[in-house]
């Protein structure tokens, strides 16, 4: 075990004095981990124990969250103890947790019907800074599907003085599987056999706080971590092999085998549909629409129910289920309609899984329907928990990542659809009427498709029209404006879903008047912010996470007595990062038309290219702010 730090033993009555902490750890930090010790002891394939002790110095208000400790538990987890102490800047005890201070709360949300997830919550926030909190906790788990992840740097803006992780494995079990990511050069690693245990240890010290650079990779890909996983595991008497993706998929498949029996009336309805609709894709669509119209999502997380689906008969009778129950029900409906399909484990709303490290990295289930028509593969993906999700559209929640297909032969990794720049489109058309005082009124119609419409679809289904309008106020980057009319609606059916947003705007002082000249920036609603300047040498690669195409067309109508004097020069350039073009022209009807097209490509780019990437973004920002000059002819 790691030796106790000097910070922890500064005196008989003082612990973790701030003065003993290296000053460099406070730079760009809201808190500093003074000491972190985590021991994971595997007793058998059925049981393991987590023992933790950690102390964190909170430097300012933004670090206060680190003064709360949450220990989750369920029917597989028993909490042995949770203790805590708060210290002032000098290391003097301010407060010690009492049993009455620790809250026991349910983690069930509004969509949870049955859920045994609970938590012990201890809070030690203090009124002045800096202060230090120390927590000790231990809990036993009989769910060995999950092994811990050691992240010495939990987040950005967090320094680390000392952090230690230890895993004790019985020699009777297969060797610990682990994967190391982004570990610093000075990490200390030790693997040895002691008696009837193998001992694995990792230790680091004096890690400065990480501050993300502009256009950075996700923090998860930069922060150091050690992932661990079992080969053999057991959950509530159900043993499995996690050394391969095939083994995990086979365990999950067998867990749900035989739970796809439907009521006779539902089976008859699906068979009738199969006879009536010969086209397999259209039949799949109608089955999905039936599922959406007759069920709703409610989470069920009781015991093995976190991994085992409710029987299809129950879902059909009750009209609700969780992601597993609804996906299994959808699979049963399709089977009765003569369409084979497979449930798939997915990591929803999180980065893609580590495909080369078989482990339980999933939190959701969806449905895969592999169609083959006219010799062409045409896989359909269904999100069975949503009553409004379009057919064969996953959205950012589960698109563009690897999922584990559950087949009788075992698990198989496949990738969900990746929506390209030309899928994620936004086409905007605006008509702007300018008056003599430089004020304007505008009518704007925007059609957003695929990933660009995800948020808008959520607003349409979950917000009132008035709240939709309020949300629009917060999304428009114009200094002064009023929305006189607002409407949000789904576009007619297309290969990819789309939303149409219609606005009528009043724009006081839209134009700037100087003497007999009027200056107008024609890019009304889609100006790119100026990029951050390059300060020193870049440390990390760049990441452009979202590919899209935006096309804006603005028609400017002018009052009598105004005519164009100077037009912005046409701009057009292309790079590996994307392309941009903008042009302004006078039309025969006396109006001025501004057209802008921006395409950004998804990708990771070497840090050495940052100056080139910065220049690309800077050119876009500059062009977006270009003004045309109108001349008053009646002055």
The enclosing domain of 430 has a CATH number of: 2.60.120.1130
CA–centroid distance for 623 within its chain: 32
Of the residues 372, 394, 415, the one at which a domain ends: 415
Same structural domain, 393 and 454: no
- In a domain, residue 402? The reply is yes
Q: State the average pLDDT for the chain.
A: 93
Q: How far apart are CA 323 and CA 330, in angstroms?
A: 10
Nearest to 31 by CA among 207, 196, 203: 207
Please check whether residue 2 lies inside any domain of the structure: no
Check: CB of residue 57 under 8 Å from CB of residue 159: no
CA pair distance 303, 117, nearest whole angstrom: 9
Pick left, alpha or beta for residue 410 (phi over 0 → left; psi -120 to 50 → alpha; otherwise beta).
left
- Checking if the pLDDT of 305 tops 90, the result is no
Specify whether 359 is located in the same domain as 457.
Answer: no
* H or E, element range at 457: helix 454-462
Residues 225 and 253 reside in one and the same domain:
no
Give me the helix-helix angle, 465-475 and 454-462, nearest 10°: 150
One domain, residues 501 and 613: yes
Q: Which two tokens stand for residue 140?
A: 């036993």
| CATH code, domain carrying 156 | 2.60.40.3140
Q: Closest by alpha carbon to 211, among 148, 159, 151?
A: 159
Look at residue 220 and tell me whether its pLDDT is greater than 50: yes
- Same domain flag for 382 and 433: no
Higher-confidence residue of 373 and 271: namely 271
Residue 42 CA to residue 171 CA, distance in Å, equals 10
The sign of the dihedral angle between the CA atoms of 541, 546, 551, 557 is negative
In angstroms, the CA 510 to CA 513 distance is 10
Last residue of one domain, picked from the residues 207, 231, 255: 231
Query: Half-sphere exposure (CA, 13 Å, Cβ side) for 432?
Result: 26
Do 163 and 278 fall into the same domain? no
pLDDT at residue 152 greater than cutoff 90: yes
Give 149's pLDDT tier (boundaries 50, 70, 90).
very high
Beta bridge partners of 373: 376
Contact 633, 558 (CB under 8 A): no
Can you read off the two tokens belonging to residue 520? 């107008």
**pLDDT at residue 5 tops 80:** no
CA distance 433 to 603: 40
Buried b (16+ CB within 10 A) or exposed e, 513-535: eeeebbebbbbbbbbbeebeeee
* Domain presence at residue 492: yes
Residues 176, 324, single domain; the answer is no
Q: How far is CA 499 from the centre of its chain?
A: 22
Q: Is 619 exposed, middle or buried (0-12, 13-18, 19+ CB in 10 A)?
A: middle
Clarify whether residues 362 and 481 are in a common domain: no
> CA 328 to CA 507: how far, in whole Å?
53
Give residue-wise pLDDT tens across range 576-631: 999 999 999 999 999 999 999 999 999 999 999 999 999 999 999 999 999 999 99
Contact 32, 133 (CB under 8 A): no
238 belongs to a structural domain: no
Q: How does residue 635 score in pLDDT terms, banded at 50, 70 and 90?
A: low
Inside any domain, residue 1? no
Residues 608, 459, single domain; the answer is yes
**What percent of the chain is helix, strand and coil (3-state, nearest 5)?**
20, 40, 40
* Domain, as residue range, for 221: 7-231
The structural domain count of the chain equals 3
Please indicate, yes or no, whether residues 212 and 360 belong to a single structural domain of this protein. no
pLDDT at 6: 47
What pLDDT is attached to residue 601?
A: 96
Query: What pLDDT digit, counting tens, does each position of 524-550 carry?
Result: 999 998 888 777 889 999 999 899 999
Q: Give me the phi and psi of 461, to 5 degrees please.
A: -85, -20
Closest-CA residue to 455 (of 426, 429, 415)? 426
Domain closes at, from 383, 415, 447: 415
Cβ-in-10-Å burial (0-12, 13-18, 19+) of 620 comes to buried
pTM, entire model: 0.90
CA gap 314, 398 in Å, rounded: 26
- 82 and 219 fall within a common domain: yes
Domain membership flag for residue 258? yes
Strand 425-434 relative to strand 548-557, pairing: parallel
Does residue 239 lie within any of the structural domains? no
Residue 469 located in a structural domain = yes
Shared-domain flag, residues 172 and 202:
yes
CATH number, domain with residue 305: 3.10.620.30
**Which pLDDT belongs to residue 56?**
98
In this predicted structure, the answer to whether residue 445 has a pLDDT above a threshold of 60 is yes
């Amino acid at each position: 075990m790691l030796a106790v730090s000097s910070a922890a033993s500064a005196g008989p009555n003082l612990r973790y004095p701030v003065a003993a902490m290296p000053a460099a750890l406070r730079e760009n930090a809201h808190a500093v981990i003074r000491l972190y010790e985590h021991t994971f002891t595997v007793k058998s394939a059925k049981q393991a124990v987590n023992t933790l002790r950690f102390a964190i110095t909170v430097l300012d208000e933004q670090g206060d969250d680190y003064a709360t400790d949450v220990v989750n538990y369920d029917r597989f987890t028993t909490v042995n103890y949770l203790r805590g102490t708060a210290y002032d800047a000098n290391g003097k005890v301010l407060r010690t947790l009492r049993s009455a201070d620790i809250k026991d709360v349910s983690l069930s949300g509004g969509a949870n019907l049955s859920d045994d997830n609970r938590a012990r919550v201890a809070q030690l926030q203090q009124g002045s800074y800096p202060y230090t909190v120390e927590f000790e906790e231990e809990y036993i788990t009989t769910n060995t599907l999950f092994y811990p992840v050691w992240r010495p740097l939990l987040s950005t803006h967090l320094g680390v003085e000392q952090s230690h992780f230890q895993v004790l494995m019985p020699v009777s079990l297969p060797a610990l599987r682990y994967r190391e990511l982004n570990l610093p050069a000075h990490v200390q690693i030790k693997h040895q056999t002691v008696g009837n245990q193998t001992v694995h240890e990792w230790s680091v010290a004096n890690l400065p706080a990480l501050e993300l650079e502009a256009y950075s990779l996700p923090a998860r890909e930069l922060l150091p971590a050690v992932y661990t996983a079992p080969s053999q595991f057991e959950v509530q008497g159900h043993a499995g092999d996690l050394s391969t993706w095939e083994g995990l998929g086979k365990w999950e498949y067998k867990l749900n085998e035989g739970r796809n029996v439907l009521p006779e009336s539902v089976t008859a309805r699906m068979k009738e549909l199969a006879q009536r609709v010969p086209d397999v894709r259209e039949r799949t669509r109608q089955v999905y629409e039936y599922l959406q119209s007759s069920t709703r999502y409610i989470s069920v997380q009781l015991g093995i129910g976190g991994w085992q689906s409710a029987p299809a008969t129950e879902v059909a009778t009750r009209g609700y289920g969780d992601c597993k129950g609804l996906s299994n029900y959808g699979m049963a409906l399709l089977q009765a309609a003569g369409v084979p399909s497979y449930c798939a484990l997915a990591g929803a709303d999180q980065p893609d899984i580590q495909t080369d490290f078989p482990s339980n990295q999933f939190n959701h289930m969806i449905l895969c329907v592999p169609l083959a028509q006219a010799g062409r593969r045409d896989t359909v993906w269904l999100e069975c928990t949503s009553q409004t999700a379009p057919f064969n559209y996953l959205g950012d929640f589960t698109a563009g990542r690897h999922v584990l297909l559950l087949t009788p032969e075992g698990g198989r990794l496949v990738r969900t659809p990746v929506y390209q720049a030309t899928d994620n489109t936004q086409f905007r058309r605006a008509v702007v009427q300018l008056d003599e005082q430089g004020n304007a009124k505008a009518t704007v119609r925007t059609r957003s498709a695929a990933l660009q419409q995800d948020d808008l679809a959520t607003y349409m289904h979950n917000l009132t029209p008035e709240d939709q309008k309020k949300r629009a106020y917060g999304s428009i980057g114009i200094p002064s404006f009023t929305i006189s009319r607002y409407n949000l609606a789904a576009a007619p059916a297309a290969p990819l879903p789309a939303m149409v947003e219609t606005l009528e705007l009043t724009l006081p002082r839209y134009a700037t008047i100087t003497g007999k000249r009027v200056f107008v920036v024609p890019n009304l609603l889609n100006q790119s912010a100026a990029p951050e300047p390059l300060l020193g040498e870049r440390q990390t690669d760049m990441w452009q996470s979202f590919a899209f195409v935006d096309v804006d067309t603005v028609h400017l109508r002018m009052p009598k007595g105004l005519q164009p004097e100077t037009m912005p020069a046409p701009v057009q350039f292309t790079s590996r990062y994307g392309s941009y073009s903008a042009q302004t022209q006078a039309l025969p009807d006396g109006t001025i038309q501004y057209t802008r097209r921006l395409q950004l490509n998804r990708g990771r780019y070497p840090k050495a290219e940052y100056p080139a990437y910065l220049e690309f973004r800077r050119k876009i920002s500059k062009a977006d702010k270009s003004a045309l000059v109108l001349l008053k002819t009646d002055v």
